[in-house]
Structure 1
Amino acid sequence: MRDFSWKYFAKTGDVDAYLLYREAGDPLEEGGPLLAEEEKALDEEAQ
């Protein structure tokens, strides 16, 4: 679900998809927030 919400956000810019992505968190951290470095890399990837 996390991958889908990110891909949907990247294509559409839909804020709700981004919020769902953030809520899903990092699967390796049991739903915890992403590290700032990882979030920055993903944001750059979306642009």
Structure 2
Amino acid sequence: MLEFTWKLFSQTGNIDTYLLFKELERENQDTAEKKEQEIAEIDYPVF
């Protein structure tokens, strides 16, 4: 989805498309960080 949104923005220059791209990018980053945290908790459980 990120690739498509970026391609659409680069072809149109539409600022709303760019803002959507940045929002999706931020959500992707948050999801990756959350997954890393969950894996760390599984490896080293807190008691």
TM-score (norm 2): 0.52
CA RMSD of aligned residues (A): 2.3
Residue matched to 1:6: 6
What secondary structure is seen at the aligned counterpart in 2 of 1:25? helix
Q: Number of aligned pairs? A: 31
Which has more radius of gyration?
A: 2
Does structure 2 conserve the Cα–Cα contact (< 8 Å) formed by 1:6 and 1:21?
A: yes
Identity %: 39
User: 1:31 Cα shift?
Assistant: 7.1
TM-score (norm 1): 0.52
Moved over 3 A (4+): none
- Which has the larger helix fraction? 2
